[in-house]
Amino acid sequence: MGVKRRRLPIPLSVVALIAVACATTAPLAIEVATPTQAPTAAPSPTGTVPPERPAEDAVETATVAPTAEPVILNPVAGAAGIGDPYYPGLGNGGYDVQRYILDLDWDPQSARLDGRATIEATATQDLLSFNLDLEGLEVAAVAVDGADASFVHEGAELTITPAEPLPDGEPFVAVIDYGGRPMRIDPLADIPIGGWFFVNGTAFVMSEPGGNFAWHPVNDHPLDKALFRVEVTAPGDLTVASAGLLVGVTDEADGDRTWIYEPPDPMAPYLLPLAIGDLELIDEGEASGVPIRNAIDRDLLDRQDAFGRTAQMMEVFIDLFGPYPFDAYGVLVVDAVVGGALEQQTLSIFGQDFLRSGRDFDDVVAHELAHQWFGNHVALGAWEDIWLNEGFATYAQYLYFEAIDPEYDIDAEIGRIRRFDRTLLSLPVPGDPGPEQLFATSVYFRGALTLHALRRTVGDDAFFASIAEYVDRFGGGNVTTEDFEAVVEEVSGEDLDAFFDAWLLDPALPEQPTG
């Protein structure tokens, strides 16, 4: 069962500009400045209570053998990639991260970031060494389980060799001290967008499909979700915004201020938000018990009403997709031309180019919110299935308008989408767009057309029941297109192999079913 993977030729001449993209399709219009908690131990074995015996019976005493140290016969080096078919250099193999503790010190005068990253992880094989992704910053020292470790840092790969091999299945803690001037990852390199930006006095991060390795050591792939604790020390006149709710703020003796965020839910590293600048933290109330708080550049506060319908959107999506999956939501608005928006977990980022455009962009706001379910809570297993993020978030825009306006004709809107240039909707095929066109028009809009066609094929009841089951079953984990198809087939009772092949992998755009 499932979509058959077959690579189709993709003409490089196809150029797609997505006005509502979750990530830019062209280089960002930004000038970059040049100046705890320990891992949970395994529970103890629970003894069995013996039946009552007569008092005269002898009591037998069990002898527990001492636990043997793990035997490592042939430790090997962990892989320098996690195995993504589009981006083989992203992520690493041989271990699973449970938590990152990032202790950062930001100096805007020198544009320098100094950090200590504490990484709590578990080996998934006997490891002689393991890799982390990190580029452009200098590593000063590495320790593993309290002992100094040797390391080699070349390009974006930091290879660490502990003093003793790491046994399969055993937890370990790596501590990396590093620093330098973090930068944007070259968009002409293998990774199309990502990194650290410093514009108009505000530092912020924006990365998809990768780029956190520009500012902290990381296993930079959605397959390795982890918890984060972010502690940032910066000048006292600046505000720090990150994922989840603010845990605490401490004024330092030298006039600096330390901000701490510790969201309770794991996330893919590229979704971790961070901004340090002249920001206003604004409490916008709540929706269905979910706090809504925004972080907006003070020069853009006059446009904050652009996000005034977030609570309404939240209510609609909770009704359609199930409970909101995280502890908070809001938007981060920076005074920079970013050319897009990105669904960072619990704090979607927007640039001033949206706010100053003069257009109503409820569609984009709804799109980024929907990603909290599709892309963040239910995350990709590989980037070739990007349509599961973008097609769902795009279709959610139209579902929102359908829910709030009884006069809204979603079929007519889908018809208008189909009148786009057929080339832009047909190629690349959304089910396998290729790494060069990850954010192509067809991924977004033909992805949405696919979902509407599916809805009209199986009917509203089966379609929305399938979406709710998909979110419930795979929330917190990773998915493939085959996973989604399996859920819809299970709920609807229909064989949908031919449907998904035609809509996701055939260059010819199918006719839209009317239901």
- pLDDT band of 68, cuts 50, 70, 90: low
Strands 290-297, 331-334: pairing kind = parallel
- pLDDT band of 31, cuts 50, 70, 90: very low
- pLDDT band of 67, cuts 50, 70, 90: low
- Helix 410-418 with 387-404: angle, nearest 10 deg: 140
Q: Are 297 and 281 in contact (CB under 8 A)?
A: no
pLDDT for the residue numbered 69: 64
- The gap from C-alpha 61 to its chain's centroid, in whole angstroms, comes to 53
- pLDDT band of 23, cuts 50, 70, 90: very low
Report the percentage of the chain scoring pLDDT > 70: 83
- pLDDT band of 175, cuts 50, 70, 90: very high
Candidate from 69-83, 153-167, 236-250, 441-455 with smallest mean pLDDT: 69-83
Is residue 34's pLDDT more than 60? no
Is residue 24's pLDDT more than 50? no
- pLDDT band of 300, cuts 50, 70, 90: very high
pLDDT for the residue numbered 59: 36
Three-class SS state of 279: strand
The chain-wide mean pLDDT, for the chain, equals: 87
pLDDT for the residue numbered 313: 98
CA dihedral 194, 196, 202, 204 (to 10 degrees): 60
pLDDT for the residue numbered 70: 65
Q: How buried is 7 (Cβ within 10 angstroms: 0-12 exposed, 13-18 middle, 19+ buried)?
A: exposed
Q: Are 485 and 390 in contact (CB under 8 A)?
A: no
Report the percentage of the chain scoring pLDDT > 90: 77
For 16, how many CA atoms within 13 A lie in the half-sphere containing its CB? 32
pLDDT for the residue numbered 159: 98
Q: What is the DSSP letter of 269?
A: G
- Helix 460-474 with 310-321: angle, nearest 10 deg: 100
pLDDT for the residue numbered 355: 75
Strands 76-77, 127-133: pairing kind = parallel
pLDDT for the residue numbered 420: 84
Is residue 403's pLDDT more than 80? yes
Return d(Cα 92, Cα 511) in angstroms, integer: 42
For 60, how many CA atoms within 13 A lie in the half-sphere containing its CB? 8
**Which is more confident, 14 or 347?**
347
- pLDDT band of 204, cuts 50, 70, 90: very high
Return d(Cα 29, Cα 444) in angstroms, integer: 22
Range of 9-18, 73-82, 121-130, 332-341 with top mean pLDDT: 121-130
Long-range Cβ contact pairs of 485-492 (< 8 A, separation 24 or more)? 485/1, 485/2, 485/3, 486/1, 486/2, 488/454, 488/458, 488/462, 488/463, 489/1, 491/458, 491/462, 491/465, 491/466, 492/458, 492/459, 492/462, 492/463, 492/466
- pLDDT band of 4, cuts 50, 70, 90: very low
pLDDT for the residue numbered 186: 63
Q: Are 426 and 508 in contact (CB under 8 A)?
A: yes
Element (H, E) at 177: strand 171-180
What mean pLDDT is predicted for residues 354-359?
A: 69
pLDDT for the residue numbered 308: 93
Tokens in use for 481?
């297109």
pTM: 0.87
pLDDT for the residue numbered 514: 81
CA dihedral 91, 97, 103, 109 (to 10 degrees): 10
**Which is more confident, 51 or 330?**
330
Is residue 404's pLDDT more than 60? yes
- pLDDT band of 357, cuts 50, 70, 90: low
pLDDT for the residue numbered 354: 76
- C-alpha angle 240/241/245, rounded to 5°? 120
**Which is more confident, 487 or 355?**
487
**Which is more confident, 36 or 419?**
419
What end-to-end distance do the CA atoms of the chain give, in Å? Answer: 24
pLDDT for the residue numbered 12: 25
What mean pLDDT is predicted for residues 375-387?
A: 98
Is residue 183's pLDDT more than 90? no
- pLDDT band of 193, cuts 50, 70, 90: low
